[in-house]
Chains A and B, each alone.
Chain A
Amino acid sequence: GENVEQHPSTLSVQEGDSAVIKCTYSDSASNYFPWYKQELGKGPQLIIDIRSNVGEKKDQRIAVTLNKTAKHFSLHITETQPEDSAVYFCAASSYSSASKIIFGSGTRLSIRP
């Protein structure tokens, strides 16, 4: 079946350094790639998303890149801060239907002071 692979499963970076999380997807029909952040004991929250008609999108310290040919997309967090510590999920779907969304297995990001 369709799936989304996410790496690494855990990531520890020094405060102020950058963090990169990578995902690959299998369904070539996917055209919407959201990233969710889940803090401890809470539900995931959308932090950034990208559609297949663009290769990169940036929002302050976070950015997402997409390579449709290789079916890769990545989340980049610069100047990491303690509040960035959380579990991050990538996902892939058709933009018109959230019921078809496939989630990656998550990355636990820890920011070292």
Chain B
Amino acid sequence: EDKVVQSPLSLVVHEGDTVTLNCSYEVTNFRSLLWYKQEKKAPTFLFMLTSSGIEKKSGRLSSILDKKELFSILNITATQTGDSAVYLCAVHSGSARQLTFGSGTQLTVLP
């Protein structure tokens, strides 16, 4: 059975702090790892990672994948209150067409 584990489950920081969110996985026939941000409604796509060691970056957010150690991190620098959300990690494996989601990390950024 595919597993995706995220840590921490929740995190409270102040504006300007840098945070690192973790995602580890155990899946059969890994194809890709995806990060989503979920506020009050449906998740919005952030990154898709397929290769080890190649950092993907979008503004203050960046992510990298380690396929040897089976984990990914999502970094957010200079956090803002608008970054407060649940961040979901999901893995697409070759044995299944659907995504397997982690439990999510609830990030709260205080002013």
The answer to whether A and B come from one shared complex is no
